[in-house]
Amino acid sequence: MVAGRRLKFTKLVGDSSAARRERQLDPRPAQEVGVNGGSVCSGCLGLDLGLSRALGIEWAWASETDPACSHIIEREGIPNLGDLFAVDWSAVPRVDLFAAGFPCPDFSTAGKRAGMAGEHGQVWFGVAAAIRALRPAIVVLENVSAITTAPGLDLDAGESALGVVLADLAEVGYVGRWLCLRASDLGAPHRRERLFILATLADADDSRRREVARGTPSDEGPNGWRCAKGDHEPIGIGTSGLRAAVTSHPEGECRPLRTAERERSGRLAGCGALAPDAASISERKPADKAHAESGGGQARSEFGGRSELAWGAYETAIRRWEHAFGHLAPRPTDNQGRLSPEFVEWMQGFPAGWTAGESRTARLRMLGNAVQVQVAEAVGRLLQSPPERTV
């Protein structure tokens, strides 16, 4: 055990300077921000953008090798460390919050389920090495919900890939919670269920950890990197948090680990669960003004709050996201009848044009791998409220 403590993870149920649009970048110097972060497997920054809106993070660096994603990271003025396996983490600036949406193909039910033994699964060990070297106060991880049942390392013991991740975190002194959340729980017109792990360093300075969790939101407005003070209502989240989003649909919950308890190097005591919370998600009121230049689709005011497209069986889902997101849906296909990247950006909650400048194929690949922005924001806000009950 670490310092004689039982370390638990609990399941929560319940281009150029001109191209750097003002809505995306916070002009304040880093020293005035107060909370900094770093991310690996950064992709096109969906997780980073959502966490920034919740916590007002200044991103010190990212780590990504995909050329198209790297262009976006460069555009946003974030230093890119490149291949995480080639980084000397002892020489990298320490950060308060570390985020990673590590590759999912070997965990997904759509793949071969190679688990931790697969080529993509093994990327986790590079992520773990970075965490071990940096020891940030807070760690936020994202992957597909099927990681709960994907194979781990000890197949004879029925170990899951999630068990490996939790054990590795506990081994270096982290405690925390994990939950599954769907994009549709936040109002988006697609399911996209993902698992998130929220971990804190057990021996970190409590005052600093609380400061990071509180965040330092600025007045830059709701559509850029930072959340606004006063006038930015988080999408789909009531005052009592998002536990209702996690618990209101039993079929969306993670299945328990096949091995409820697992000892590894004497560090992990087990996985428990938080009791469901009866809180409900508050309905977001329609925005008085939408900004077409900074969100998917057109501003509400142009068409009285509804796009003129006919959506057929998808009408209800599309209208719900228009209402929650505050931006009208763009056309789903281009002139050749192909899926439009602009429409996928809108579904994923990115500002309009976030991936512009890359090929259609690259844009769809980036967006398909991205974390839904409003879900990431909700997870960031969850860091601000401690769990109520554990078992």
Q: Give, as one character, the DSSP assignment of residue 384.
A: T
User: d(Cα 53, Cα 234) in Å, to the nearest integer?
Assistant: 9
* Enclosing H/E stretch for 142: strand 138-144
pTM value > 0.85: no
3-state SS record for 9-41: EEECCCCCHHHCCCCCCCCCCHHHCCCEEEEEC
Domain limits for position 133: 7-279+373-382
* Enclosing H/E stretch for 180: strand 174-182
| Overall number of domains in the chain | 2
The answer to whether residue 360 sits within a structural domain is no
Note whether 178 and 166 are within 8 A (CB).
Answer: yes
> Where do we find the tokens 């763009």?
330
Provide the pLDDT for residue 59: 96
Provide the pLDDT for residue 247: 36
| Three-class SS state of 134 | helix
183 and 300 housed in the same domain:
no
The answer to whether residue 1 sits within a structural domain is no
337 and 197 housed in the same domain:
no
Provide the pLDDT for residue 155: 81
Angle at 341 between CA 339 and CA 344, to 5 degrees: 85
198 and 317 housed in the same domain:
no
Provide the pLDDT for residue 110: 86
Tokens of 77: 């003025």
Classify 137 in phi/psi space as left (phi over 0), alpha (psi -120 to 50) or beta. Answer: alpha
Give the residue from 84, 77, 93 showing the smallest Cα distance to 15. Answer: 77
Question: Which amino acid, residue 102?
Answer: F
Provide the pLDDT for residue 11: 64
Report the Cα 187 to chain-centroid distance in Å.
Answer: 16
Provide the pLDDT for residue 45: 98
User: Could you give the count of Cα atoms lying within 13 Å of 215 in the half-sphere of its Cβ?
Assistant: 23
Measure Cα distances from 79 to 18, 39, 53, 346, 356 in Å: 18, 11, 20, 26, 20
User: d(Cα 97, Cα 136) in Å, to the nearest integer?
Assistant: 6
Provide the pLDDT for residue 26: 36
169 and 112 housed in the same domain:
yes
Tokens of 111: 């793949």
Here the CATH number for the domain that contains residue 110 is: 3.40.50.150
Provide the pLDDT for residue 112: 84
Question: Which amino acid, residue 171?
Answer: E
The answer to whether residue 120 sits within a structural domain is yes
Provide the pLDDT for residue 12: 59
Tell me the per-residue pLDDT of 22-68, one tens digit each, with 9 for 90 and over.
323 333 333 334 689 999 999 999 999 999 999 999 999 999 999 99
User: Per-10-residue mean pLDDT for the chain, 391 residues long?
Assistant: 42 43 33 75 97 94 98 97 97 96 91 89 96 96 94 86 94 92 94 95 69 53 37 34 35 29 26 25 30 39 58 93 94 96 97 96 97 96 66 33
Give the residue from 364, 335, 333 showing the smallest Cα distance to 350. Answer: 364
304 and 159 housed in the same domain:
no
Backbone angles phi, psi at 277, to 5 degrees: -110, 140
User: d(Cα 320, Cα 122) in Å, to the nearest integer?
Assistant: 39
140 and 14 housed in the same domain:
yes
260 and 341 housed in the same domain:
no
Tokens of 23: 């809505």
The answer to whether residue 286 sits within a structural domain is no
Tell me the per-residue pLDDT of 177-198, one tens digit each, with 9 for 90 and over.
999 999 999 999 999 999 999 9
Note whether 259 and 250 are within 8 A (CB).
Answer: no
The answer to whether residue 248 sits within a structural domain is yes
Note whether 56 and 79 are within 8 A (CB).
Answer: no
**What's the CA dihedral at 235, 326, 140, 383 to 10 degrees?**
-30
Give the residue from 9, 12, 1, 23 showing the smallest Cα distance to 277. Answer: 12
Give the residue from 19, 85, 78, 22 showing the smallest Cα distance to 45. Answer: 78
Provide the pLDDT for residue 109: 87
The answer to whether residue 131 sits within a structural domain is yes
Give the residue from 52, 2, 377 showing the smallest Cα distance to 169. Answer: 2
